[in-house]
Structure 1
Amino acid sequence: MLVLPAALTHAQAAACSRMLAQAVRSEPGSAAVADASALERFDSSALAVLLECRREALALGKSFSVSQLPARLRALAALYGVAELLPAAPGGAPAARQQPA
């Protein structure tokens, strides 16, 4: 499981993207699952990081999904038209909790 940090804004995006890409490459199995349950503070950069992680997984022939994506980030993904690219992990419904603004 790929674990996202509590804060994922523009300031952390590049480092987080590199860390997750390396984790995807070293993760055994045919599925990459990003755990977003720790996300508390984020901006649209979090979407860019998740989409880059998805690209890396697909390039390696792995499926990609997200567990516990905060409702506000899911809404942002829908607004940008990329929600279908970030499917919920099997058995893990999207988080219903609201994040502070």
Structure 2
Amino acid sequence: MPAQLGFAEAASAWAQLEPALRAEALQVRSGAGRELRLSAAQLKSFDSATLSVLLGCARLATEHGLRLVVSNAPEQLRALAGVYGLTDLIWPSETTPA
């Protein structure tokens, strides 16, 4: 993910992420993988539009029978997801009891 991903950047970020994630999903599935990984380590500036992009990523992973794993997300992004009730959709493995 880019360093800045807000409302102004969301459409162009998704236009870049979607084909890359689709290609990655095909590679993961062909290798019998189960997780589509996305790093948010570079993400420094974001807003609620970032959550929309992440939901699109999660939906894409599900379409391919995979689970999205978002790593290194800023705590503020996780808190924002919690405010909107989206934590379970973006980080399901961390909220589902084993």
Same fold by TM (over 0.5)?
A: yes
What is the rounded CA distance, in whole Å, between the counterparts of 2:93 and 2:39 in structure 1? 9
- Residue of structure 2 aligned with 1:17, choices 5, 14, 17: 14
Runs of 4+ in structure 1 over 3 Å off? none
How many residues are aligned here? 87
Which consecutive residues of structure 1, in runs of 5 or more, have no partner in the other structure? 91-101
Return the letter of the residue paired with 2:37.
Answer: V
What secondary structure, in the 3-state scheme, does the structure 2 residue paired with 1:34 have? strand
Secondary structure of the 1:21 match is helix
Determine whether 1:44 maps to 2:48: yes
2:73 aligned residue: 69
Give the Å deviation of 1:84: 1.1
Partner-residue secondary structure (3-state), 1:64: strand
CA–CA distance in 1 between the matches of 2:16 and 2:60?
12
Identify if the C-alpha distance between structure 1 residues 10 and 79 changes in structure 2 by more than 3 Å, giving closer, same or farther. same
The structure having more radius of gyration, on CA atoms, is 2
Matched with 2:61 is 57
> Greater share of helix residues, 1 or 2?
2
What 5-or-longer segments of structure 2 have no aligned partner? 29-33
TM-score (norm 2): 0.81
Indicate how the Cα distance of structure 1 residues 59 and 34 shifts in structure 2: closer, same or farther if over 3 A, else same: same
Q: Which moved more, 1:22-31 or 1:46-55?
A: 22-31
